[in-house]
A and B are shown apart, each in its own frame.
Chain A
Amino acid sequence: MQYKDYYAALGVGRDASTEEIKRAYRRLARQYHPDVSKAADAEARFKEINEAHAVLKDPTRRAEYDALGTGWRAGDEFRPGSSAGPASSQRPGAGQYEFSPEEAAAFSDFFSSLFGGRGAGHPGHAGADDLFSRRGADQAARVQITLEDAYRGATRQLRLEVPEIGADGRMGMRARTLNVRIPAGITEGQQIRLAGQGGPGLGGKGEPGDLYLEVTFAPHPQFRSEGRDIHLRLPLAPWEAALGATVPVSTLGGTVNLRIPANAQGNQRLRLKGRGLPGSGSGSGQPAGDCIVQLEIVNPPADTAADRQVWQDLAARFPGFDPRAGFRG
């Protein structure tokens, strides 16, 4: 397992006061809290910060960690009982800490080897198994799907690391594959709860936790979603906008012939009712979203004298036209 540099995780020196450690932890916790941060590694960073804080805030644990010595660097191969630093590791008697196997599992192997797995078997707490029964931890995972998947529904295979109580009674991690049905009409950020698919329960009667899947959408070349509405941009020639036209537009549900009214303008938005993501529930449920088409006028090049003449003729035809009327101010 890898040595963890808890001081580096909190960005403090080895001589930091308890007050400094607390301040650093608070600041980093706000920054990397998975509910606050959008950073991809927020969850992992937050765990690291929490683990470092759990050790360094407690003078006894901090002393034991410090006793490993200063010769270590983060990522060094660490074996329990080994000591690379100048000070030799003098571990205080086992059984002093009250980390549950569940808490120890949430932290690294390195943490568990120092402090973990001593709570459950603590002599002072010996008793019936179900006295310790605890619900397993809820787990969260993200699943990225395409907008097309959200429209039609899809099945996604997930690979999860789940905590498991091994034969030795310790918590370890195990890879698990799970096929999950994602129903049509899901929207970005929505969660799917899979009851009983989280961490295993503890003790005789502990129920397993739940798994929460948060759905995110992969970026789409043409479409953006906002709730159930789909936004897209439709390029038009100036004469299509001026005269009106029927233009094929691809929506999630297939191609639609969109009738552009005459005198259409750039940035005008047209709504195709019910052509967004499908609604949830049948009948009384949420209605399907709309497809919102924003018009964009694209000019043909004016590269030759003949091309330019056409535009000049157009200008001569509309001498009073002021595109910036109401713009000045």
Chain B
Amino acid sequence: MAQTGEYEGVVLDEQTVLTVTELTHVCGISLEQVRCMVGEGILHPRGQRPEQWRFSGLEVRRTRRAIRLQRDLELNLAGAALALDLLEEIERLRRRLDCLEQHMSSPRDIDGL
């Protein structure tokens, strides 16, 4: 069954701003879970108190990933935070490597003396 029409989603980038209520709704988690993730340094909202917190769209991905890692791999929050940081670092390095590798040709064997 085909469905027609064009959907325009929300790009979860730096531009998208969410309140803590929106984040809990989007990610299906409790305020307490968000508090713990902020406390663990997984999320870095702008603003002091929870009602002033503003999260970027990128943090939706982080939150959902942190929840999945905890649930599926039975990690505690600190373990999930570490995994998340390392995964993001790997992704960043992979892209970097990809940019650098295009400048290199494959080595050709030659004789040295």
Contacts and interface: CB of A to CB of B under 8 A. Distances in A.
B9 A35 contact: no
A30 B2 CA distance: 37
B13 interface: yes
A186 B5 contact: no
Given A33-B73, A281-B15, A233 B102 contact: yes
Contact of B8 (A33, A181, A225): A181
A188 B1 CA distance: 31
A177 B15 contact: no
Contacts, number: 103
Given A29-B72, A30-B73, A189-B91, A179 B7 contact: yes
A231 B102 CA distance: 9
B75 to A, nearest CB: 10
Nearest to A196: B7
B68 to A, nearest CB: 6
B96 interface: yes
Contacts of B12: 190-193
B11 A183 contact: yes
A48 B10 CA distance: 31
B6 A180 contact: yes
Interface string A221-235: 000111100010100
Contacts of B68: 33, 35
B99 interface: yes
Contacts of A225: 95, 99
B61 A191 contact: yes
Contact of B9 (A193, A224, A227): A193
Nearest to B4: A179
Interface of A: 26, 29-30, 33, 35-36, 46, 50, 135, 138, 155, 174-181, 183, 186-195, 197, 210-213, 224-227, 231, 233, 267, 280-281, 285-286, 294, 296
29 contacts: A36-B69, A175-B1, A179-B5, A179-B6, A180-B6, A180-B9, A181-B6, A181-B7, A183-B11, A187-B13, A188-B95, A191-B11, A191-B12, A191-B60, A191-B61, A192-B9, A192-B10, A194-B7, A197-B9, A212-B64, A224-B102, A225-B99, A231-B99, A231-B102, A233-B102, A280-B11, A281-B15, A294-B103, A296-B103
Given A30-B73, A189-B91, A210-B26, 12 more contacts: A35-B87, A176-B1, A180-B8, A181-B6, A190-B12, A195-B9, A195-B10, A211-B9, A225-B99, A226-B95, A280-B15, A285-B15
